[in-house]
Chain A
């Protein structure tokens, strides 16, 4: 998990003017990307490319860390020893992914401490889906199956992007995600083919998660600003609507074949255009939740703050202030 198509930017923020960048260097940089070459940490890069990548990778990292919380809640209550082991392993992977991504972001010059402070102060965001509660075990199955699947669609696309350290981190992440998706699918199928009570529980979880899942890839393309440059620079690899469509194409049939329903009567594939049609989810709700108004925003950040404060004495006791410091090199 847990890259999301939608990466929060400060409202009304204008891209940094390209005039700041040396046009000759910019041309070399863009030609390199057009040839399919990777950009590495020591390379010259436009200021806006650096800023956008930090924003993207940092928020991806925060999403991994925060995303472990709703699932972590269920470790103590997982049904059976095998599911408990798998869930512990998955949650550990997510925290590991967060660290890989913080390292990739650090190669661009923002320290991990600053990123964590920006998370705690609310300045930088994480994937909106984690501001919703995991009420039952069926929620864990829906997250493990469908939200991981959505994240994989996004991450596989991003792993073909232009920034070397991010691509390398994503390759490792995608490899581990394949296990997450499989164990999520297994838990999902177990409930879907189980007792009437289990099916009811799963259907209820699907109904509650459908809107956040539709929100996952971000607002429709027509509402999204300045993504053309990001596509050219291979920071953004596919449009929000294209990724959403790819996800629907892969997973809606897998849900319907189990006799489960999705809470959108308009959802269907247009056989002529090969595109999925659906009711636009409530985007006002999306922005309300991003800006702190969701059911779990407060709890998620409070738990992170608690962890930072209560772990501080350990980190401080081990600090080596005289040590020569540097950011990761690759």
Chain B
């Protein structure tokens, strides 16, 4: 390659031949870690994305660089993507609520009617 870059730093690199193949080996970009971000004390940690890192200590450092550059952050968690266990997204119908589950909800219990009826009967 002719040394005609506008960037003197590029010219100093003495770049190789354009035709030369460079291959990155599988695994050279390390492993994937999921990142959880806590915006303020007392808040939940929320999933914000992933970083690639060789180990969890470096994953934390990269996560700080990637996800805490601007917005407020007081803490970060990282966990290997391989260690996340999740339900199959295709099974999301199992979370559907049905009408008979109102025994689990506050709205499933109505007392005012009985109280009013009782008060009425005592008059």
Binding site for B on A (CB under 8 A): 40-44, 73, 76, 92-93, 96, 99-100, 103, 106, 111-114, 116-117, 120-121, 133-135, 168-169, 172, 176, 298-299, 301-303, 305-306, 308-309, 312, 315-316, 318-321, 323-330
Distance to closest chain A CB from B88 (angstroms): 6
* Nearest CB in chain B to that of A304: its residue: B22
In the assembled complex, which residues on chain B have CB atoms less than 8 Å from the CB atom of A308?
A: 22, 24
Measured CA separation A139–B23 after assembly (Å): 33
**A328–B32 contact, CB under 8 A?**
yes
A329 touches B49 (CB 8 A): no
B65: nearest chain-A partner, CB-CB = A96
Question: In the bound complex, what is the Cα–Cα distance between A176 and B67 (angstroms)?
Answer: 11
Which residue of B21, B23, B82 contacts A326 across the interface (Cβ within 8 Å)?
B82
Report yes or no: B24 in contact with A324, Cβ–Cβ below 8 A.
Answer: no
Q: Is B40 an interface residue (CB 8 A)?
A: no
Residue of B whose beta carbon sits closest to that of A298: B18
B47 nearest in chain A by CB position = A330
Residue from the list A40, A43, A315, A327 in contact with B28, Cβ < 8 A: A315
In the complex, residue of chain B having the shortest beta-carbon distance to the beta carbon of A112: B29
Please tell me which one of the listed residues A99, A299, A309 contacts residue B52 in the complex, with CB atoms under 8 A apart.
A99
Q: Tell me if B74 is interfacial: C-beta within 8 Å of chain A.
A: no
Contact B32 A327 (CB under 8 A): yes
Of B15, B24, B31, B66, the contact of A325 (CB 8 Å cutoff) = B31
- Indicate whether A116 sits within 8 Å of B80 (C-beta atoms), given known contacts A42-B90, A306-B15, A330-B47: no
Taking the complex as formed, is B25 at the interface, i.e. its CB lies under 8 A from any CB of chain A? yes
B28 lies within 8 A of A316 (CB)? yes
Contact A312 B28 (CB under 8 A): yes
- Whether A299 pairs with B1 at a CB distance below 8 angstroms is yes
> What A residues does B47 contact at CB under 8 A?
330
In the complex, which residues 1-53 of chain B have their Cβ closer than 8 Å to any Cβ of chain A?
1, 5-7, 9-10, 13, 15-16, 18, 20-32, 34, 47-52
The reply on B102 being an interface residue by CB < 8 A is: no
Residues of B within 8 A of A96 (CB): 65-66, 69
A302 and B15: CB pair below 8 A?
yes
B80 x A320 contact (CB < 8 A): no
In the complex where A325-B27, A326-B32 touch, is A305 in contact with B50 (Cβ < 8 A)? no
User: Within the assembled complex, what's the spacing in Å between the Cα atoms of A44 and B10?
Assistant: 45
With known contacts A42-B89, A103-B50, A306-B13, A329–B27 Cβ distance under 8 A? no
- Is A299's CB under 8 angstroms from B5's CB? yes
Of the candidates A43, A318, A319, A327, the one whose C-beta lies within 8 Å of that of B81 is A327
CB contact between B6 and one of A135, A169, A324 (< 8 Å): that residue: A135
Does B55 count as interface, using CB distance less than 8 angstroms?
Answer: yes
Closest B residue by C-beta to A308: B22
Rounded to whole Å, the gap between the CB of B49 and the closest CB of chain A is 6
Please pick, from A73, A116, A169, A303, the residue contacting B49 in the complex, using a CB distance under 8 A. A169
Q: Looking at the assembled complex, report how far the CB atom of B52 sits from the nearest CB atom of chain A, in whole angstroms.
A: 7
> How far, in Å, is A170 (CB) from chain B's closest CB?
12
The 4 A-B pairs at the shortest CB distance, nearest first, are namely A326-B82, A318-B54, A328-B50, A42-B89
B70 within 8 A of A: yes
In the assembled complex, 16 residue pairs joining A and B whose CB atoms fall closer than 8 Å, in A order, are: A42-B89, A44-B90, A76-B9, A92-B69, A103-B51, A112-B52, A113-B24, A120-B21, A133-B6, A303-B15, A305-B16, A316-B28, A324-B82, A324-B83, A328-B49, A328-B50
Q: Is the CB of B81 within 8 A of A326?
A: yes
Q: How far is the CA of A73 from the CA of B49 in the complex (A)?
A: 29
**A275 CB to nearest chain B CB (Å):** 37
CB-CB nearest in chain B for A99? B66
Rounded to whole Å, the gap between the CB of B48 and the closest CB of chain A is 8
- Write the nearest CB–CB distance from A322 to chain B, whole angstroms: 11
A312–B49 CA distance with the chains assembled, in angstroms? 25
Residue of B nearest to A121 (CB): B21
Known: A121-B21, A301-B18, A326-B80. 10 other contacts (CB 8 A): A40-B89, A111-B26, A112-B29, A113-B27, A117-B24, A312-B24, A318-B55, A320-B55, A328-B50, A329-B84
